[in-house]
Every structure is written in structure tokens, then in C-alpha cells.
A and B are shown apart, each in its own frame.
Chain A
Amino acid sequence: MHYLIEPGLWSSSPVRVAVLVGTVVAITSAVVGVFTVTRGQSFAGHSLADVATTGGSGAFLVGLNQFWGFLAFGVVAAIILEAIGVQRRRGRDVTTGVVLGAGLGLAALFLYLGTQQSNTTGASFTVLFGSIFVIQSSTIPALIACGVIALVVIVTLSRVLLLSSLSPEVAAARGVPVRAVGAAYLVALAISVSLSSVAIGAVLSTALLIGPAATALRIAKGPVRAMVTAAVIGVVVTWLGILLAYDSYYWPPHGHAWPVSFFIVALVVLAYLLTYLHRPARRRRPGLTGAPGAARPEVEVGA
């Protein structure tokens, strides 16, 4: 018999670090993610994560902290994506496809060479699937600073991002530099992806980015509420995930904790599925012809 929240939980330094970093990562990913989902750029988010994998594995090969690899490659990839034309739907598809393949190919090479050198397979797992319990304390200030930077960029740009998502033409007509704003957003996205790569791994980082945001967008209507709801969901699933992973030490096979990334991702999916219970049938989008639906009041303005 044991307790889910054990007496020694908070005295464990890895747990305290995991909760601190996890909270920063969850809030940043969730808030950035609201705009990623809104702009229809989930795939760009995922390909940034794949390129970040390359950076993380490269950093491992040369003996640097993986976060710097995630960050450097992610930001460079974001700028390249923007330059090649992530705005155009078709260009976006092809570009992300090509960049993604190249990134993961290199990651395979780096990880292979790295494990040959150091004779550990644990590093591959850490790069791909995260290691929130073994974060080096020296990188914590940098992680927090990056989270704050990404959040400040996104909140500062929130209105112009929403306006250009609504209609790029209207935004441009009102003097918004739509491309520059898109580029700044992609850099914030890259930072957020590197953060969640540290926490739950490069391959799974999209889960924290898209999951809480997509869940929030199903239950909160306005932009501010969506951002707050996403952040709350992200933080809750991260804390619960850490708690369960800590507890899973007592689960079979006894004496081995399950990876925290698994719990976080599973809880993200669970939260998303729960919204379908909450709102069983979202009203179908009316047809393009604008024919009035049965339940919709039509307002006539006097001619």
C-alpha cells in the first residue's frame, strides 16, 4: 500500500525541477499552441520539432546540453520555413515535408554516432522522448527565460496575429506587416517547441503544443479565454503526468518508473476526448450558400 502523493515527493529535487520547468513549458506551449491551431500550422509545429530533434542529437554528439541544439536548429528552421514560404498552402506542404525528412535523417546519423562514442542508448531516448526528471540545473534559468520571451512575443502580437488569421488582406490593408508578424510568430513557435522537446521529447513535443490548445478551443469561445484555458489544461496534465510517473515506480514491472512523457501525452489525449463528452454534437457548419438553418434566427434589416 502506498499513497499517490508520497511524503517524500516534494523533498525530491528532480521532482521540484520537473514541476517548475514543466509548468513553464506547459504554459508557453499552450498559449503558443492556440495560435498554431488557429493559423492551421500544426504541421509546421511538428516539422520544427523534427528539425529540433536533429539539433538535440547534434548537441548530444558534440557534448552540449540538448536544449541549445533544440533551440538553435528550431529557430533556424523557422526562419527557413518562413523564407521558403510557409504562408502558401502548397509551398508549406512540400517545404515541411522535405525539411522534415532531412532533419530526421540527420538525427538518425547523429544519434548513431553519439551512442557509438559514449556507449549509452539512454541519450537517444532522452532526445526523442524527453527527460523532465534529469534536467540540468544550469539550464533552468535559460529555459524559464525562453518561455517568458516566447510568451511576451505572442501576447504582444496577439491582436495582429488574430487579425491576419481572420483575413491577411484586411490586415495588410490596415498596415500590418503580415510576413514579419508571421516570421516572429514562427520564431516564438520554435522556442516553444524546443522547450517542450526538453520536457517530453522532440518527437512528442507537438502533443503539448496542440493538445491543450485544441482542447481549449473546443470549450472556450473568445481568444483570451482560449489562451487561459489552454494554459490551465497544459499545467494540469503536466503536473498529473509527473505525479503518475513518480508513482509508477511501484507499478509493474516493479522498480522501474514509466516515462513521464507517456503520461503527459496520454492525459492530453484524454482531455481532448473528454470535450466530446462535454459537447456531444457541435452544430455543423452551415453551408456556404448561407441558407438559414432551422434553429438560427435570421435578422432582417429594414430596406
Chain B
Amino acid sequence: MSERKAPAADELLRLDGITVRLSGREVLHDVSFAIRPGEFTGLIGPNGAGKTTILRVILGLLPPSSGTVTVAGAPIGGRRHHRRESVIGYVPQKLLIEPDMPLRVRDVVALGIDGNKLGVPFPSRARRELVNETLRMVGADSFADKRVGELSGGEQQRVMIAHALISQPRLLLLDEPLANLDIRSAQGIVAVLAKLAREQQIAVLISAHDMNPLAPVMDRIVYVAAGRAAVGSSEEVLRTDVLSRLYGQHVDVLHVHGRVVIVAGEDGEDTGSPHDGAGQPDPVYGSGVA
């Protein structure tokens, strides 16, 4: 299922044979996939499968043991090397911030412009309008003057998406943005992201252990289990044979009332691939892909 071909000119991101070993344990094995502009890709898999590790490798926070990451057509460190930060916007997992953190929503979004720079920013009209416009884009303008620590989880996600968007990235990485959100907030976030991908050709790579809320908008799935990845459309990936090979044990992909349910097989039938037991198949649910 790995995509091994010459990098196409329009690829924003390509991972080639990424393997990561952490203190002797292989947490990612030979992961390859590519992302093009405007594509909505779900990075799906159970907790502990390696989704966050993949995002960390893409962000340059974790050097892979082998394999290459190519951003906007040029390998990292190469001659035509694009600065990752200018191409990729990143939305981290749930923030842990206290209500007394002195950052209003508009301060957080402004930090997206130049929060990595020294000195004090010069306030300007253009700056303020850029912040307002970005807040409107994600539907966060109504609470622009609230402190970010006082917001709900869904509101915080919108703010962090605006924070990532304001530097006009071409690829947006989101780490479990829907975890711990109620269904309505999750749908709101997915709608915002789908609109960005469609209207601004921003590629979206979003990790989730539950593919259910993403199913209607996902163009492709990168399914991760036990440190391996299967890549393709929902129909190509969500199959008993493909996922059993990935998990290294028999799993059933069940289509129940238009939803997809993935459960471990009863017999624990060995498919022959060596595994150390990481990433046991928790049930993973999806819908609308059958």
C-alpha cells in the first residue's frame, strides 16, 4: 500500500520509507505517503499506533532513523530547502492552559504571525485586520476578546486553527483536534477544515482515533496501526485483508448500518508479520465509507 514513485511536482509533502526507533523499539516502520494541495487526508488509527510520531517527524521535532521527508518538492536540508514553518501550520493536541493565562483569542492568533520572533511587535491596523479576518475564517470572531483559557475545547481548537492559518501555510497538520469534543463542536471544526481545503487549496492532514466525524470529507486515509501505515481511499484501506496485515493479527472490518467497525478477530490468527504487540486493535469506528 505504500506509495513509492518519483515525487510529483505538485506534492506539498512526501514521506519516503520513514522508520523511527525510540530507545530500541521500532515505533514507525517504513511509512510512506504524499499529500497534494487541497487534499483532506485522515491520519487514522488507535491510540499509541504512531500517529503523533508521524506528525512530529513531519514537523522536524523528531529525526527519523531512516527515510526522508520532502516539503514542497525539496528535501529538508537540501539546496532548495523551504523553511518548514512557512509551508506547514500546526495545531497541537488539546491545550493545557489556565484561565489566568494573559492571552486573549486575538493575542494567540497574532502570535501565529511572529510569536517565534524576539522583541515587541509594532501594533498596526493591517495586523489587527489580518487577525480579525483570520478569526472570521474559522468562526471565532465572536469571542476574540475573551481569554483563551476560558474557552471550551471546541472554541480553543478554532483559535489554534486560526493561529496556524494566519501565516498562510499550504499544509495544515492537526493532532487529534476532535478528541474530547462533543459531536456538534466536532462537526463545526470539520466543516471549517473542509472549507479551507476546498476554497483555499490548503492541504489538511488530521489525526484521529475515530474516523466517524471525518468520513464525509476525507479524500484519503493514512491508516496507522502498530507503527505501519496503509494509504489509499477508504474503499482501498478499510478492508479485512489490508488492516489484518497492518495489525499483524486478524481483524474484521464490519459494515454495520453504513458505519465501519473494526474489531479484533477472536482466534488471533497469525498473519506472519513480526510484531511486538504494540497497537492492539482497539475498535475503530467509521461511517459512510461502505
Contact = CB atoms under 8 A, between A and B. Distances in A.
B52 to A, nearest CB: 10
Q: Which residue, A37, A289, A301, A303, has most C-beta atoms of chain B within 10 A?
A: A301
Given A159-B121, A289-B182, A174 B104 contact: no
Contacts of B99: 282, 285
Given A40-B98, A173-B85, A285-B150, A290 B92 contact: no
Nearest to A218: B100
Contacts of A221: 102, 104, 145, 147
Contacts of A172: 59, 61
Contact of B95 (A163, A167, A171, A299): A167
Contacts of A220: 102
A299 B139 contact: yes
A171 B115 contact: yes
Contacts of B254: none
A292 B120 CA distance: 35
Given A286-B151, A291-B152, A296-B152, A301 B139 contact: yes
Interface in B61-79: 61
B182 A290 contact: yes
Contact of A175 (B85, B154, B185, B190): B85
Interface stretch (A76-84, A150-158, A186-194): A150-158
B256 interface: no
Contacts of A160: 115-118
Interface residues of A, number: 51
Contact of A162 (B92, B103, B118, B139): B103
Contact of B116 (A37, A163, A292, A296): A163
A296 B153 CA distance: 13
B194 interface: yes
Interface stretch (B33-41, B106-114, B204-212): B106-114
B200 to A, nearest CB: 14
Nearest to A158: B120
Interface string A36-63: 0110100000000000000000000000
Contacts of B190: 303
B188 interface: yes
B180 A289 contact: yes
Contacts of B118: 156-157, 159-160
Nearest to B195: A301
Contacts of B92: 167, 169-170
B191 A301 contact: yes
Given A162-B103, A301-B188, A170 B152 contact: no
B142 interface: yes
B140 interface: yes
Nearest to B145: A221
A299 B140 contact: yes
19 contacts: A155-B119, A163-B116, A169-B92, A173-B60, A175-B116, A176-B116, A217-B100, A217-B102, A221-B145, A226-B102, A282-B99, A288-B94, A289-B182, A290-B155, A290-B185, A291-B152, A296-B152, A299-B139, A301-B138
Interface of B: 59-61, 84-85, 88, 90, 92-95, 97-104, 107-108, 111, 114-121, 138-143, 145, 147-155, 160, 163, 180-182, 184-185, 187-188, 190-192, 194-195
